[in-house]
Amino acid sequence: MSKVAVKVDHVTMRFNLSKEKVDNLKEYAIKFVKGQLHYNEFQALKDVSITVNKGDRLGILGLNGAGKSTILKVIAGVYKPSEGHVERHGKMAPMIELGAGFDPQYTGKENIYLYGSVLGFSREFLDEKYDEILEFSELHEFIDVPLKNYSSGMKARLGFAIATIVEPEILILDEVLSVGDAKFRRKCENKMQGMFDKGVTVLFVSHSIEQVKNLCNKAILLDHGKLIAQGDIEDVAAIYESMTE
Amino acid sequence: MIWGKTLNNTIPEDIVNKYLKNFTRYRFLLKELVKKGIKLKYRRSYLGIIWTLLEPLLTTIVLTIVFSSLLGYNSRPGQPYAVYILTGRLLYGFFNESTKVAMRSIRANSAMIKKVYVPKYLYPLASVIYTFVIFLLSLMVLAGTEVVMGVKPTIHILECILPIIVLFLFSFGVSMILATISVFFRDLEYLWNVITMLIMYCSAIFYYTDRLKGLAAKLVRVNPLYCIISNFRSNVLFGRSILTGGDESQMFIYALVVSLILDVVGIYMFYKKQDEFILQI
């Protein structure tokens, strides 16, 4: 098995940003006849190549609109890159937004099975881990209540508990550490620390440079879709800090 | 596990293997999505799943009263008019419901699609499967009505599984095409409402086709849904086989071929366009 966990190879991601979104036939036909069907092409990522080794904890830095979330979504397989390709070696746990697969009409219990299967777990596996999820999320008395009656903190707790039930080899985090109250945040951080100690590969996006410094050993810096720096966290963080001043 | 690999340099066998492997990985999600569709359809209604039986029964009563007392359609010997309507109504109902739900499925699940990788064809597929399960349950009403109305079943009733399979394939093909296009053009939902109405009137749900002449007769005959309904009636109402050659066999083969073509076209369109969905929803 190779040492590489994630390899992003010359990835370019293009979006068609039409000035107004043409999503109905009438407009499309009119614009087509008039020859006004042109798009403003926007490149969210420009020829980005990165290699993340197993056990690396990579922070992704950049200003708003630099392409941080886009690169995470490309790595997670949500976006298919316009050019280039991505290789992933290992079981991945994407935590881009906790509870993205939840259904508000479903109860907490039903959502555990639904969201669990979205993440690719089997029913038997979820049966086995059900108590553990319940324990971690501390939602015992609410588990049979429809999710629409949950607070956002409760949803985040449930989402985190389900997503971290496997020991992933690659963990993708997009600002998820800022959810819940201080007590639950500490619990999450402890659980993550446990995973880090086992050598999980982490890809982490956050605006808080402190959090990134605490968590990561490597970093990349994106600016308008271009990779402008990569290396050890201290070096890259210094460049980022000079940029934000 | 390699997902993002470009397909140009891999041989087809690899692609098929990759998709099969992915499908096994996500079969629990398919099951969950089907279950969710069924559970949520009737949640918060007092009668719950009983509505699958009650709804076709009530509409059939209304249609029977309207067409027999106002327009003078009557039962033919051994073929109660109510059963004639109910068969058409049930099959058309499934086609109508499954295509509509599947058409909206990508947009309805956009929150999930934007955040985690999931094979996207699962959404229209799950929609068609869950409406199909409800449809199969609703066939109990048909059995009950046939007994009450005194229809004498023959051995050919077992053949009705064939038109039912064709109906599934037909609805799935149409659903995949609609699901793909409606991501790009939202108007399709309104347009499809009109088209399904046209299909309904061309499906001989509440009239007999032997009175039709000229263009109308041709229009009904090229409608695969009519062919499926006609096959189904042969089996469960008229007690005739559809496999002995003749008109019904022709209709069966025609509907099957059209359905398979639609499946291939639908899957191909969906496969080609699925990576662009995320940019539209």
Number of domains in chain B: 1
pLDDT tens for A138-158 read 888 999 999 999 888 888 888
Taking CA atoms, what residue in A is nearest to B111? A100
* Closest alpha carbon within chain B to A80: B275
Helix (H, G, I), strand (E, B) or coil at A232: strand
Domain A4-244: CATH superfamily is P-loop containing nucleotide triphosphate hydrolases (3.40.50.300)
In whole angstroms, what separates CA B177 from the centre of its chain?
Answer: 13
| B10 in a structural domain | no
With an 8 Å Cβ cutoff, are A105 and B187 in contact?
Answer: no
pLDDT of residue A37: 61
- Domain assignment of residue B229, yes or no: yes
Position of tokens 């009705």? B160
Name the token pair of B11: 């041989």
pLDDT at A21: 60
Q: Does A32 touch chain B (CB under 8 A)?
A: no
Sort strands A201-205 and A83-88 into parallel, antiparallel or unpaired: unpaired
**Does residue B124 form part of some domain?**
yes
The answer to whether A75 and A224 are in contact (CB under 8 A) is: no
For the question of an ipTM over 0.85, the answer is no
**B202 found inside a domain:** yes
Residue of A nearest to B122 (CA): A118
Spatial neighbors of B87 by CB under 8 A, at least 6 apart, are B142, B229, B232, B233, B236, B237
Band of pLDDT at residue B3, cut at 50, 70 and 90: very low
Residue in the block written with tokens 């109510």: B82
Please report, in tens digits, the pLDDT of each residue of chain A (245 residues total).
Answer: 468 888 999 999 888 766 556 667 777 777 777 766 666 678 888 999 999 998 888 999 888 888 888 898 899 888 888 889 898 888 887 777 776 678 888 899 999 999 888 888 888 999 999 999 999 888 889 999 999 998 888 888 888 888 888 878 888 887 766 666 788 878 887 888 888 888 888 888 887 788 888 888 899 999 888 898 888 988 888 888 888 87
Residues A171/A216, Cβ–Cβ less than 8 Å: no
Instruction: Give pLDDT, residue B281.
Output: 77
CB within 8 Å: A23 and B185: yes
Q: What is the pLDDT of residues B149-192, one digit of tens each?
A: 888 889 999 999 999 999 999 999 999 999 999 999 888 999 99
A positions 101-140 inside 8 Å of B (CB): 101, 103, 105-106, 110, 113-114, 117-123
Tell me the domain boundaries of chain A: 4-244
The residue in chain A having the minimum alpha-carbon distance to the alpha carbon of residue B114 is A78
Q: Do B112 and A25 touch (CB under 8 A)?
A: no
Q: Does A166 touch chain B (CB under 8 A)?
A: no
Contact A28 B117 (CB under 8 A): no
Give tens-digit pLDDT for B216-226. 888 899 999 99
pLDDT value for B241:
92
Residue A21 phi, psi (nearest 5) = -75, 120
Query: Which residues between 47 and 66 in chain B have a beta carbon less than 8 angstroms from any beta carbon of chain A?
Result: none
Domain assignment present for residue B42? The answer is yes
Nearest residue, CB atoms, B278 vs list A78, A90, A118: A78
Provide the residue range defining the domain that includes B145.
29-280
Residues in A closer than 8 angstroms to B3, CB to CB, are 77, 86, 88
Question: Is residue B3 in some structural domain?
Answer: no
So what's the pLDDT on residue B10? 47
